[in-house]
Amino acid sequence: MMPLDIDTLRLDFPILAHTVNGQPLVYLDNAATTQKPRAVLDALNHYYQSQNANVHRAAHALSGQATQAFEAARAKVARFINALDDRQVIWTRGTTEAINLVAYSFGMHSLKANDEILLSTMEHHANIVPWQQVAAATGAIIKVIPLATDAELDMEAAAALFSTRTKLLAVSHISNALGAINPIKQLIAMAKAVGAVTLIDGAQAVGHFPVDVQALDCDFYVFSGHKMFGPTGIGVLYGKRELLEAMPPWQTGGEMIKKVSFEQTSFGELPFKFEAGTPNIAGAIGLGAGIDYLSGLDRAAIAKHEQALMAQLLAGLNAMPEVRIIGRPQAGAVSFVINEVHPQDVATLLDMQGIAVRTGHHCAMPLMQALDLPQGTIRASIAFYNSADDITALLAGLDKAREFF
């Protein structure tokens, strides 16, 4: 393990040395996408410069090297989340595609009229809209876990919603909008008690703390590479093997077949039956490099550092009488509003000072409606490469914004 030296680690991320609007970059939009270390950038360059070939399809040396690197990345993902088998790791374009794969391959073929799909008020649109499509096609019914008064999930209400008609639970591990860590282990246990299948959206979790899919005992777990220091356009669907084996292919074409004739086609084994066409080879290799980088750090020290940054930010925001923090942020993101000021106006003033945050609904419009926040919030989200100086700069920028308005 490398000792956690933030100043040294920041040098691994070239973009952090950039300026924006003549000011040093303070990047606090990590819930949207994280920056990439040199190790990932180098892995991408190395593939394209030295190994560029298609995988699984040729006998020549470059294809063999590309295939080895591609499948080695799959094995790294499996170890990273403690999957039993590499074949339980399916490459996707990201969390959104992974959820859609499960929705269309499992949901469309397994759910029927009056079956219930249980979501939560906190879900990202990517974990709502696919299930609405499934419900519309199958006659299944969507039920929603409401919020308690502290803007966390109402677990008493959740317990009452589970029944023998509940066939699927799909919830986020961490809210992208509020930074709340949901009690997914408890929810998974509730789902198992009624025989429901579980899908966990881990997009916001995997970059902040270790995830063990066997310990969680979830049926599906999905996440994106670009939110955990890897490239864009690559993501992961983990699934229990018996479910993946039973699910039909979602997309069809090359790579995912065993034999094709004009009369009949037979499909390949896991994981290939879900990976039609040329995959994002460079993205997978880059994600593998990102996992290597993250795994080489002391993740307990990272978590402690991030919690210290969260505490500093929350204390600073609580000291501003015009600021209202939304919910009880626990990891990654803090959402807040400033009385009578449009979030976009605040973000524009912060951007002029080189400070990057996100505003709006954060692809969680039902959550914002439940919280009566029609304009959304200002969201500052951290990663381990952020420093105490970044938080100080944000708080100073907010002071300027408050004075301006």
* Start-to-end Cα distance in the chain: 47
Stretch 368-376: mean pLDDT, rounded?
96
Give the amino acid at 80: F
- Residues 190-196 have a mean pLDDT of 98
- Give per-residue pLDDT as tens, 232-268: 999 999 999 999 999 999 999 988 989 999 999 999 9
Name the band, by pLDDT with cuts 50, 70 and 90, for residue 12.
very high
Mean pLDDT of 104-120: 98
Q: Which residue among 266, 295, 324 closes a domain?
A: 295
- In this prediction, residues 285-306 reach a mean pLDDT of 95
- Residues pairing with 120 in the sheet: 145
Indicate if 387 and 241 belong to the same structural domain.
Answer: no
The range of the structural domain enclosing residue 12 comes to: 6-30+298-404
Residue 161, helix vs strand vs coil: helix
pLDDT over 80 (residue 2): no
Last residue of a domain, one of 295, 326, 357: 295
Sign of CA dihedral 249, 201, 336, 155: positive
Quick check: 166 pLDDT over 70? yes
Backbone angles phi, psi at 151, to 5 degrees: 65, 25
Closest CA to 178 of 34, 329, 33: 329
* Domain contains 122: yes
Q: Can you spell out the DSSP letters for 101-148?
A: HHIIIIIHHH--TT-EEEEETT--GGGTHHHHHHHHHH--EEEEE-B-
CATH number of the CATH domain containing 329: 3.90.1150.10
Does 167 score more than 90 pLDDT? yes
Least confident residue range of 190-194, 252-256, 378-382: 252-256
Contact 244, 262 (CB under 8 A): no
189 with 332, same domain: the answer is no
CATH at 230: 3.40.640.10
d(CA 34, CA 231): 9
Instruction: Confirm whether 1 is domain-assigned.
Output: no
- Averaged pLDDT, 139-163: 97
Asked if 287 and 320 sit in the same domain, the reply is no
Q: Assess whether pLDDT exceeds 60 at residue 285.
A: yes
In a domain, 329, yes or no: yes
Average pLDDT estimate for 372-389: 97
- Number of independent structural domains in the chain: 2
| 150 and 87, same domain (yes or no) | yes
Q: Which of 388, 392, 364, 390 is nearest to 376 (CA)?
A: 364
User: Using H for helix, E for strand and C for coil, what is the string for the chain?
Assistant: CECCCHHHHHCCCHHHHCEECCEECEECECCCCCCCCHHHHHHHHHHHHHHCCCCCCCCCHHHHHHHHHHHHHHHHHHHHHCCCCHHHEEEECCHHHHHHHHHHHHHHHHCCCCCEEEEECCCCHHHCHHHHHHHHHHCCEEEEECECCCCCECHHHHHHHCCCCEEEEEEECECCCCCCECCHHHHHHHHHHCCCEEEEECCCCCCCCCCCHHHHCCCEEEEEHHHHCCCCCCEEEEECHHHHHHCCCCCCCCCCEEEECCCCEEECCCCHHHCCCCCCHHHHHHHHHHHHHHHCECHHHHHHHHHHHHHHHHHHHHCCCCEEECCCCCCCEEEEEECCCCHHHHHHHHHHCCEECEEECCCCHHHHHHCCCCCCEEEEECCCCCCHHHHHHHHHHHHHHHHHC
Distances (CA, A) of 152 to 8, 174, 260, 359: 36, 11, 51, 20
The whole-number pLDDT of residue 21 equals: 94
Q: Which of 142, 194, 363, 365 is catalytic?
A: 363
From CA 314, how far away is CA 394, in angstroms rounded? 12
Domain presence at residue 36: no
Q: Is residue 348 part of a domain?
A: yes
Residues 329 and 312 in one domain: yes
Last-in-domain residue among 261, 295, 329: 295
Evaluate whether residue 37 is within a structural domain.
no
One domain for residues 245 and 114? yes
Helix (H, G, I), strand (E, B) or coil at 168: strand
125 and 228 part of one domain: yes
Mean pLDDT value across residues 383-392: 97
- What is this structure's pTM? 0.96
Q: Is 218 a catalytic residue?
A: no
In a domain, 239, yes or no: yes
Residue 405's pLDDT is: 78
Note whether 65 and 12 are same-domain residues.
Answer: no
| Residues 391 and 256 both lie in one domain | no
Average model confidence (pLDDT) across the chain: 96
Q: So what's the pLDDT on residue 1?
A: 54
Whether the CA torsion 174, 179, 183, 185 is positive or negative: it is positive
Task: Indicate if 396 and 367 belong to the same structural domain.
Answer: yes
Mean pLDDT value across residues 207-226: 97
Q: State whether 152 and 245 are in the same domain.
A: yes
Mean pLDDT score, 162-176: 98
The answer to whether residue 269 is domain-embedded is yes
Q: What is the pLDDT of residue 403?
A: 83
Above 80 in pLDDT, residue 57? no
> Would you state the pLDDT for residue 302?
93
Poorest-pLDDT segment among 3-12, 185-194, 358-367 = 3-12
DSSP 92: E
Question: How do 26-27 and 355-356 pair as beta strands?
Answer: parallel
Check whether 27 has a pLDDT greater than 60: yes
Q: Is the pLDDT of residue 168 over 60?
A: yes
What percent of the chain lies above the pLDDT cut of 90?
A: 95
Q: At residue 334, does pLDDT exceed 70?
A: yes
- Greatest mean pLDDT among 32-36, 147-151, 299-303 lies in 32-36
Are 219 and 75 part of one and the same domain? Answer: yes
